[in-house]
Amino acid sequence: MKAQEPRPDISTALTVTQFCQMFDIEPELYAALKRTGQGPREVRTGHCIVIPSEYAAQWLVKAEPLRVFAQRYLCG
* Residue 3, domain member (yes or no): no
DSSP assignment letter at 14: E
Say if 31 falls within a structural domain.
Answer: yes
pLDDT at 61: 87
Domain range for 47 is: 14-74
Q: How many folded domains does the chain comprise?
A: 1
Q: Rounded CA gap, 52 and 49, in Å?
A: 10
Q: Which of the residue ranges 23-27, 35-39, 60-64 would you say has the lowest mean pLDDT?
A: 60-64
- The answer to whether residue 69 is domain-embedded is yes
Instruction: Supply the pTM of this predicted model.
Output: 0.75
Range 18-30 average pLDDT? 91
CA distance 54 to 58: 6
SS3 content of the chain, % helix, strand, coil (to 5): 50, 10, 40
The pLDDT tens digits for 52-75 are 999 999 998 888 777 666 666 666
The amino acid at 17: T
